[in-house]
Amino acid sequence: MSSRCPLCSQSELRPVKLSYDLPALGCMNCGGVLLSLILYSDWRERHPNELPPTSRTESPANPQVEDTKNALLCPKCRGFMTKYKMRADASNVLDLCAHCDEVWFDRGEWSQVEDLALSGQLSRVFTQKWQTDLRKAEVNQRAEKRYQEQLGEDYAELAALRERLRDHPKAKEILAFLYTSQTMR
Ligand SMILES: [Zn+2]
Ligand SMILES: [Zn+2]
């Protein structure tokens, strides 16, 4: 059975090979790729060790990377695909059909997740734990940004101090020292 591209519905998806001969279906028109997580698991079993990235030519800021905001229909079952964020610092989202276990990568998105895929973590992106951790990371990033704004030019120095105190055996004493010197005046 042939599958059509979820973006350019006229275009047939054709067999392509991603990094290290990982089989997938690609659209020659938009450059998107459909990957079966089942085939990915099989491929992982044949490549159990972490592999070096091959297509790290496109950075997240690269304009070649596209991201579809619209809900896509799965090329296999025609059901709606669900959007998943992959990293706290990336704005792109991946589309997954939870029914067929098929992931759609818009053009350029594969190279953004290639390191995750090669280290065997691709399927984990779609787990509750990954998504919960990602939301926590986003909350932390927002808090950090607020501190950065509040502290202004002192931020870099204070962030370095915080780093030094992180594993310091006397961190508590040092903090108490700083705190009391402010409150006992
Ligand atoms: Zn297409
Ligand atoms: Zn489907």
How far, in Å, is the centroid of ligand 2 from the Cα of 154? 52
* pLDDT tens digit sequence for 22-63: 999 999 999 999 999 999 999 999 988 878 878 655 444 454
Task: Output the CA–CA distances (angstroms, integers) from residue 10 to 13, 29, 142, 179, in the order listed.
Answer: 10, 9, 42, 66
The confidence score (pLDDT) of residue 65 equals: 65
The confidence score (pLDDT) of residue 55 equals: 64
DSSP state of 66: -
User: Which ligand is closest in space to the CA of residue 6?
Assistant: 1
| Mean pLDDT confidence for 109-117 | 90
Q: Which of these ranges, 53-62, 73-82, 152-161, has the smallest mean pLDDT?
A: 53-62
How far, in Å, is the centroid of ligand 2 from the Cα of 54? 29
Q: pLDDT band at residue 77, thresholds of 50, 70 and 90?
A: very high
Residue 151: CB atoms within 10 Å? 13
How far, in Å, is the centroid of ligand 2 from the Cα of 21? 23
Residues with CB under 5 A from ligand 1 (ion): 5, 7-8, 11, 27, 29-30
Q: Which residues are within 8 A (CB) of 105 and not within 5 positions of it... i.e. 6 or more apart?
A: 32, 33, 34, 35, 94, 113
The confidence score (pLDDT) of residue 1 equals: 61
How far, in Å, is the centroid of ligand 2 from the Cα of 80? 8
Phi/psi at 155 (nearest 5 deg)? Answer: -55, -50
**For 47-122, where are the alpha helices, taking DSSP H only?**
109-118
Alpha-carbon distance 68 to 7, whole Å?
8
Q: Is the pLDDT of residue 183 over 90?
A: no
Residue type at position 27? C
User: Which ligand is closest in space to the CA of residue 7?
Assistant: 1
User: Which ligand is closest in space to the CA of residue 11?
Assistant: 1
| Mean pLDDT confidence for 127-141 | 94
Q: What does the mean pLDDT of the chain come to?
A: 89
